[in-house]
Structure 1
Amino acid sequence: MNEPMDEALRAIAEPRRRAILRLVANQELPAGRIAEHFEVTRPAVSQHLQVLKEAGLLVERREGTKRMYRARYEGLAPLRQFLDEMWAESLDFARRTTEGERGLSDHESQTG
Structure 2
Amino acid sequence: MTSPKVDVFQAIADPTRRKLLRLIDDREMAVTAISGHFPISRTAVSKHLRILADAGLVKERKVGRETRYRFEPEPLLELKRWLAYFDRFWDNKLSVLQHYVESDGSASTPSPARLQASTDKEKKE
Say whether the fold is shared (TM-score over 0.5): yes
Structure number with greater CO (CA < 8 Å, separation at least 6) is 1
- Percentage identity across aligned positions? 33
Partner of 1:27, secondary structure, is coil
User: Which residue number in structure 2 is paired with residue 34 of structure 1?
Assistant: 34
Match of 2:85, as an amino acid? E
What do you get for the CA RMSD once the two structures are aligned?
2.8
More helix by share: 1
Q: CA deviation at 1:100?
A: 7.6
1:57 matched to 2:51: no
Q: Is the 8 A contact 2:93 2:116 kept in 1?
A: no
Asked which structure has the greater CA Rg, the reply is 2
Aligned pair in 2 of structure 1 residues 40, 93: CA closer, same or farther (>3 Å)? closer
- Range with bigger deviation, 68-77 or 90-99: 90-99
AA aligned opposite 1:40: I
TM-score of the aligned structures, taking structure 1 as reference length? 0.75
Letter in 2 for 1:61: R
* Aligned position for 1:44: 44
Query: Structure 1 segments of 4 or more deviating over 6 A?
Result: 93-97
Change (3 A) 1:44 1:100: closer
Q: Which amino acid aligns with 1:86?
A: F
> CA shift at 1:12, angstroms?
1.1
User: What is the CA-CA distance between 1:61 and the residue it aligns to?
Assistant: 1.1
Task: Provide TM-score, normalisation by structure 2.
Answer: 0.68
Secondary structure, aligned partner of 1:77: helix
- Distance in 2 (CA, whole Å) between partners of 1:22 and 1:90 is 26
Contact 2:60 2:68 (C-alpha < 8 Å) held by counterparts: yes
Task: Supply the AA of the counterpart residue of 2:41.
Answer: T
Give unpaired runs (5+ residues) of structure 2.
97-113
